[in-house]
Amino acid sequence: MTAATHTARALEARAALSLPYTHVDTLFINGTWTPARGTARNPVADPATGEAWGSVPDGSAEDVDAAVASAQQAFHGQWPRLTPTERAAFLLRIADEVEKRAEELSLTNTRENGSPVSESAGAAANAAGIFRYFASLAGYLEREDVRAFPRGGGESIVRREPVGICALIAPWNFPINLVVIKLAPALLAGCTVVIKPASPTPLSIRIIIDAVAAAGVPAGVVNLVTGSGRLGDALVKHPGVDKVAFTGSTPVGRKIAAACGELLRPVTLELGGKSSAIVLPDADLDAISKVLIRSCMRNTGQTCYISTRILAPASRYSEVVDMVTATVQAGQQGDPLDPNTVFGPCATKAQYRTVLDYVQSAVAEGARATTGGDAASLGGGLEGGYFVKPTVFADVTAPMRISREEIFGPVLGILKYGDIDDAVALANNTEFGLGGLVFGQDQQAALAVADRMDTGSVGINFFASNHAAPFGGRHDSGLGTEYGIEGLNAYLSYKSIHRKR
């Protein structure tokens, strides 16, 4: 790995930052920043230094009541009665307002969760793209849908109505876009929402709220509460909530699914993953090297769909190990505020400990670290940061913990396969089913392997989620989909009006 270089000492660089939100005592309810009911607070730490630089209210059940009441009031107002085209115009204005705030969004996001600015710099454009994509679906909602009875004699008018008040709960790894991918379709559908961000990342989302307010969205349509998982639980179970959309871990997803099952409340769950990249025997390793970090270690390995298990043919195993090792070693680890940084810190101290525990388990189970394999101490003001050295393990086998469980850190494992059936069986030998990759020069052969992978998305020679295509997990990776028309449908309730002709 190239030595970390810092253009300025980390603490000085941070002191010079001018961020719109640091220590705040308000929640966004009924169109205004409103003081929280209680006095409890949660700190916000900079994972690159460990320094607590911000704080937010640790909201209470009364705050959730107020936010849901505000969303209910707005749902009884004009918002759901506007035409989809009228709501789409708001989405387009929000997109413009988000783009105006790109730098503050990026820097706040990076200070909250340590995503390198090379990653967070794209957050505003991506969020704006999501708002614009869903705005483009207004025509789908407006199209009259009249279906004849198959045996004749009558017809049914199919109405697509907003499902109601939605609880949007997000994790810390992409704190802006994992809210926006819920917010944009909910708004287009005519729903009103209460957002609960993750405790480590409660500030960047406030900038999205500012964009929503600047776009003129009516009071009460979008509300924000901050607080712990306990607050999330209160929101999920609140009698005034009609639908829950959640991204986060599988264990919390199960609890939410159980609560929603009991309440018969619609729920969308985007959960964890353990995805595989199958390197076919004809793969171009130089080409893989160019997309490897983005596809397999994006955001310092803290991305749900990345393929952290690399399956290499026995005939080319050592070549693949050398390529992956050299590619990871070439990525600079350092201050996430440095535009050249590829690998930042883990987002939280708890996650740092979890990742190091996985690294130790891999060594104990016989995996061979070809690079990394330890905590990193970077100096330059970053001594207190949660840095794990980007790590590659060779000689990984299917039963090892790092091969079965989601690590959510900068750690790759390389497994060996015999033939294609063996590769597909290894890839599908997981409780998850979120992402996956096939690397190969013969497109037809690669597509045939992609078709055999038991997962919600697969990339061929690269991975990127497409706003227009459904994204969701199978098995322990979730329920339902986001993105695309399918993602919009999750915020609709259907009504069929039958009549004689």
Q: Is 27 in the site for ligand NDP (CB under 6 A)?
A: no
Site for ligand NDP in 313-352 (CB under 6 A): none
* 116 phi/psi in degrees, rounded to 5: -55, 145
Tell me which of 166, 191, 304, 346 is the catalytic residue.
304
Tell me which of 119, 270, 406, 482 is the catalytic residue.
270
Is 166 among the catalytic positions?
A: no
Which C-beta is closer to ligand NDP: that of 190 or that of 272? 272
Amino acid sitting at position 116 = P
Region of 128-136, 214-222, 264-272, 316-324 interacting with ligand NDP (CB under 6 A): 264-272
Rounded to whole angstroms, the Cα distance separating 176 from 198 reads 11
* 160 phi/psi in degrees, rounded to 5: -110, 105
Is residue 482 within 8 Å of residue 457, measured between CB atoms? no
Site for ligand NDP in 167-226 (CB under 6 A): 169-173, 178, 196, 198-199
Which C-beta is closer to ligand NDP: that of 380 or that of 459? 459
Among 73, 228, 340, 489, binds ligand NDP (CB under 6 A): 228
Is residue 313 within 8 Å of residue 305, measured between CB atoms? no
Query: Tokens 């070809």 correspond to what residue?
Result: 370
DSSP H/E element including 90: helix 84-100
Q: Is 249 in the site for ligand NDP (CB under 6 A)?
A: yes
DSSP H/E element including 357: helix 349-364
CB-closest chain residue to ligand NDP: 232
Among 112, 270, 335, 476, binds ligand NDP (CB under 6 A): 270
What's the token pair of residue 167? 């609880």
Q: Minimum distance between the CB of residue 435 and ligand NDP, rounded to whole angstroms? A: 9
Which of 293-299's residues contact partners 24+ apart within 8 Å by CB, and which partners? 293/327, 293/328, 293/331, 293/342, 294/462, 294/463, 295/437, 295/459, 295/462, 295/463, 296/412, 296/437, 297/328, 297/331, 297/343, 297/390, 297/410, 297/412, 298/119, 299/115, 299/116, 299/119, 299/173, 299/174
Q: How far is CA 207 from the centre of its chain?
A: 18
Among 221, 297, 304, 479, binds ligand NDP (CB under 6 A): 304
Q: Mask 406-445, x = binds ligand NDP (CB under 6 A)?
A: x-x-------------------------x-----------
Among 236, 411, 414, 438, binds ligand NDP (CB under 6 A): 236
Site for ligand NDP in 390-409 (CB under 6 A): 406, 408
Region of 99-107, 144-152, 232-240, 336-344 interacting with ligand NDP (CB under 6 A): 232-240
Is 296 among the catalytic positions?
A: no
Binding site residues, ligand NDP, CB under 6 A = 169-173, 178, 196, 198-199, 228-229, 232-233, 236, 247-249, 252, 255-256, 270-273, 304, 406, 408, 434, 473, 478
Active site residues: 270, 304
